Chain A
Amino acid sequence: MVYYITTLLVYAGVDAIACLGLSQQFGVGGVTNFGFIIFQAAGAYVAGALSLPSDHVDGGFQSYIFGWHLPFPIPWIGATVVGGLLAIPFALIVGKRLRGDFAAIGLLVTAVMFNLLVTNYVPLFNGAAGLSLVPSPLQGSFNPQSTGYQWGYGIIAILVAFATYLFVTRITESPYGRSLRAMRDNDTVADSLGKNVRSLRTSSLIIGGAIAGLSGGVLVGFINLWDPQAWGYAETVVLFAAVIIGGLGNHRGAMLGAVLVPVAFEEATRYIPPVSGNPNLIPALQWVAIGLLILVFLWFRPQGILPERRRKLATRFASEPGTEPGALQSPPSDFAAPVTSPSSVGVIETEVENETIGAGAADGDADTAPATTDVILECRDLVREFDGVRAVDGVSMAFKRGCLTGIIGPNGAGKSTVLAMLAGTLPSTSGEILFRGEDVTRLPAFRRARMGLVRTFQLASEFKRLTVLENLLAAIPDQQGDTFLGALRGRRRWGAQERELIDSAQAMLEQFGLLGLADLYAGDLSGGQRRLVEIMRALMAQPEVLLLDEPMAGVHPRLAHDIGMQLVRLCQEGTTIVMVEHELSIMDEFCDPVYVLAEGRVLAQGAMAALRAKEEVVEAYLVG
């Protein structure tokens, strides 16, 4: 009976450790690694190989597997390290832009392939027979069969599981964890906001791999053998099922799933009496039952038993009313104010004209900062060719600091493509892009973002499973907790700065009138609100140059006007804005100068009024 309980404890601990690794990698980092079991297997093999002595009475295969007979805890450490190292080649495959389910089968197939190779290639780890008579830790000093040792092992397994839980929780509940979740929700956008997605993904794989390796090491020390049967594709399915059933994105859920699925499940069917004539019935039915469990859970409760918790940061760190807002000082906006209808259309247009004059060159108003006329961003002979088609055919533009420049043009003119190349989210075929005089043409998007060149996207691109406040916080650069080491050092290290950043994010929300939505999931907002969150988030990235891709698309004219006013204010304060738009009225009101693109080339540029006078522009494009 005792052995039964202690075995249960060890399995619970090992499965919990493995599931925590998967939870961190998959639930938080969004990395779907269906080859996960390979890491556990590698850890077990390495721990086994490191602890085996050179000579053994049983056969002689151990002679080529090191035979170092290393003492505890080195095998466990080795298992963890190798699990982590093995992740690096995987990082090369996983990063590809592949459809989720295609990538999944690719990795699953990799796991099956490795299993096949190890099964057949005997010199590696003794093939199908595997490693046996693996020494238990400290078996020189203690009797592994004794009750005390068994209990000790069980308790240590549980303790290691808890230590792992604390470790992954510390990583997840930090700014670094927030960046991981942002990457999970939308990696392209995370990239454009300055997150080094490749490095985040690689580290997720390494952390998950190391933890899986550790679980393998702990297990092999207890059961003293390890062969390819223990890590087939079915075991992979069980681990994923455990994490999903327990709750994706919630580490407690992962532990719960580990206990429920592999452990309790196996134990529950133990009590069904065997059917004579068909001794394999129970094990086969166990698998059927796991399959059913997966379907039932994914149907009735896909978020898992313990779903990912919403982080209510605003409620926790509620800013007091009347707090001085952060960097942006401006009168309260009227986004949330009741609609006031102007007496006539003309009045609004006049007000707007005044604003337009103030936005660009230093003219008139003493309040506006003297706008410099140096060029902060430019492109020369930019070309984008794909599939034989030149979407952009030699575009040269120069954007002056502090100006609100517009880019218009008919469909297919290449406007969004140019914007994407300027931001770095699309590579250019040829040409140069200079930011603050430096050549950034080959720089990836996240580096440009860190330099201050940030873009927004046309289609909905909020981080859906982050709250509105978290969306904004995720964009802020240079956070102390936003590195692995920073996260590891804990709240003591980054807590104070986090509180300040929350204050400034809330101030931004208040300015746009959306403070009440701070703790809601960004994915739950209306279209117009999400559009605002996108703009606010880009602003939190502290851009010097902001590239907006059709920010007013589908937005009510009144709201568009208000957004325009905000943008003008930003330019007055020194930000440079480049805006691609279809609505010419917005160009009229806010932008100066305006570039007209057609068929991949610059057709004309200048003030909107002047452009309307140009015949070729009117020909190509304008009406009325």
Chain B
Amino acid sequence: MSVFIASIGFGLVTAAVLALASVGFTLQFAVTNVLNLAYGGVMIVAAYAAYALNERGVNIWISAPAAVLIGAVLSVLLNNLIYTPFGRRGTTPIAMVIVALGMTLILEFGTQALAGPTNVSYIMSQGATVKLGSIELTVVQLVIIGLSIVVMILVHGLIRYTRLGKAMRATAANRNLARNCGIRTDRVITVTWLISGALCGLAGLTFAMNSGTFGATSTDIFLVLILAAVFLGGPGQPYGAMLGALVIGLATEVSASIIVSDYKDVAAFVILLAMLTIRPTGLLGARA
């Protein structure tokens, strides 16, 4: 039983990392209608960017902005140099999936070519272990959860209360009409990619922190968890992504305590497939 409760704690940390990633993914999908399957690739490049500083002696928390920055810049470049040009040529959705997968190969194996095939870890202390009943989490894990909650609140504020958020909603609903309302949709899209990319970078960093060791292809499976969270809540629905992240995060860790931990991610796979088959618009999306 205490193992079960402890797994809830781990589930919350996974959910925290997943929330950062999923909200970033879904915001960008809402505005551009493109499934950025290279998202995992950008995450790991951002994680390595922080590592590059960290292994030279820079404290990981000071290296953290490097991850966020790389995530943001790389995402915007991805959109401007790859997705938008291919989209303008009328590339079919299937071909866009293949383009994204091709970019993933370039990002991940490019990183591996530079950094080598062995897994690495951040040089950092996980901090003391804090006990809350049966839940045992390190300080770092608590910081990750806290960080995630703060970011979620900021995202909520952005969407609901700022002019930019309004412009994002209009661009997501009907891009041409938004332009006819005077909204500079190109700028809105670029800013959305920046925000999504920053979240991606932050997710990559926290993912690496929470994983202990990581390698260039570590995010391949994690991408499936992100997709599961996104589709559970509904593609393009930021609050849905938050909900989905919580469910998937808990489901994977809790199932690890019940069944053999090798299969813990299978829960996410099954949920993703179920959503795609039964209700692709997600729990919070409008019925198709």
Binding site for B on A (CB under 8 A): 32, 34, 93, 96, 98-106, 109-110, 112-113, 116-117, 120, 233-234, 237, 240-241, 244, 278, 280-281, 284-288, 290-292, 294-295, 298-299, 302, 387
Judge whether B35 and A101 touch: CB under 8 Å: yes
Partner-A contacts on B (CB < 8 A): 35, 37, 82, 85-86, 89, 91-99, 101-106, 108-110, 112-113, 116-117, 216, 220-221, 224, 227, 231, 235, 260, 262-263, 265-266, 269, 272-273, 276-277, 280, 287
**How many angstroms from the CA of A345 to the CA of B59 in the assembled complex?**
87
Residues of A within 8 A of B109 (CB): 284-288, 291
CB distance from B100 to the nearest CB of A (A): 9
Q: Is the CB of A102 within 8 A of B102?
A: no
Which residue from chain A places its CB closest to the CB of B270 in the assembled complex? Answer: A113
Query: Chain A residues near B102 (CB, 8 Å)?
Result: 237, 241, 290-292, 294-295, 298
B98 pairs with A237, CB closer than 8 A: yes
Given the known A-B contacts A116-B266, A288-B113, are A109 and B105 also in contact in the complex, defined by CB atoms under 8 Å?
no
Find out whether the CB atom of A292 lies under 8 angstroms from the CB atom of B276: no
18 A–B contacts, CB within 8 A, in A order: A96-B277, A98-B280, A99-B93, A100-B94, A106-B273, A109-B269, A112-B220, A112-B269, A116-B265, A116-B269, A280-B113, A288-B113, A292-B102, A294-B99, A298-B95, A298-B98, A299-B86, A302-B89
Do the beta carbons of A387 and B287 come within 8 Å of each other? yes
A residues less than 8 Å from B280 (CB atoms): 98-99, 102
Q: Are A113 and B93 in contact (CB under 8 A)?
A: no
Contact in complex: B266, A113 (CB < 8 Å): yes
Q: Is the CB of A291 within 8 A of B266?
A: no
Q: Find out whether the CB atom of B263 lies under 8 angstroms from the CB atom of A116.
A: yes
In the complex, the answer to whether B276 meets A288 with C-beta atoms within 8 Å is no
A284–B112 Cα distance when bound, in Å, is 6
Q: Which of A93, A102, A103, A284 has the most CB of B within 10 A?
A: A284
Q: Are A103 and B263 in contact (CB under 8 A)?
A: no
Query: Across the interface, do A105 and B35 meet the contact criterion of CB distance under 8 Å?
Result: yes
**Chain B residues, CB < 8 A from A290:** 102, 105
Given A284-B117, A292-B106, the answer on whether A117 and B263 have CB atoms closer than 8 Å is: yes
Bound Cα distance from A241 to B273, whole angstroms: 24
Please give, as numbers and ranges, the residues of chain B lying within 8 Å of A104 by CB-CB distance.
Answer: 93-94, 97
Contact present for A285 and B265 (CB under 8 Å): no
Given contact pairs A96-B277, A106-B272, A291 touches B97 in the complex (Cβ within 8 A)? no
In the complex, which of the residues A93, A113, A120 has the most CB atoms of chain B within 10 Å of its own CB atom?
A113
Would you call A113 and B106 a contact (CB within 8 A)? no
Contacts of B37 in A (CB 8 A): 105
Write the nearest CB–CB distance from B110 to chain A, whole angstroms. Answer: 5
Establish whether residues A278 and B116, one from each chain, have CB atoms under 8 Å apart when the complex forms.
yes
Contact A109 B220 (CB under 8 A): no
Q: A102-B276, A109-B224, A109-B272 are in contact. Are A237 and B105 (CB under 8 A)?
A: yes
Contacts of B35 in A (CB 8 A): 101-102, 105
Output the least CB separation between B57 and chain A (Å): 22
Instruction: Tell me the nearest residue of chain A to B100, going by C-beta.
Output: A101
Given A288-B113, A387-B287, answer yes or no on A294-B92 (Cβ-Cβ < 8 Å): no
- Shortest CB distance A89–B (Å): 12
Q: Which residue of B lies closest to A234 (CB)?
A: B105
Given contacts A116-B266, A387-B287, A101 and B276 within 8 Å (CB-CB): no
Minimum distance in angstroms from A350 CB to a CB of chain B:
47
Q: Are A280 and B117 in contact (CB under 8 A)?
A: yes
By beta carbon, the residue of chain B nearest A93 is B277
CB-based nearest A residue for B111: A284
**Residue on B nearest A101 in the bound complex, by CB:** B93
Report the nearest A residue to B103, measured CB to CB: A291
| A298 contacts B99, C-beta separation under 8 Å | yes
Q: How far is the CA of A101 from the CA of B112 in the complex (A)?
A: 28
A302 to B86, CA, bound (A): 10
| CB-based nearest B residue for A244 | B98
Chain B residues whose C-beta falls within 8 Å of the C-beta of A294 in the assembled complex: 98-99, 101-102, 105
Pairwise interchain contact B86-A298, C-beta atoms closer than 8 A = yes
Q: Using CB atoms, name the residue of chain A closest to B110.
A: A288
CB-defined contacts of B99 to chain A, threshold 8 Å: 294-295, 298
| Residues of B contacting A96 in the complex (Cβ-Cβ under 8 angstroms) | 276-277
Further contacts, 8 of them, CB under 8 A, given A284-B110, A287-B109, A294-B105:
A99-B93, A104-B94, A105-B276, A237-B105, A244-B95, A278-B116, A290-B105, A291-B104
Most A CB within 10 A of own CB, among B104, B262, B276: B276
Chain B residue nearest to A286 in the complex (CB): B109
Residue of B nearest to A119 (CB): B262
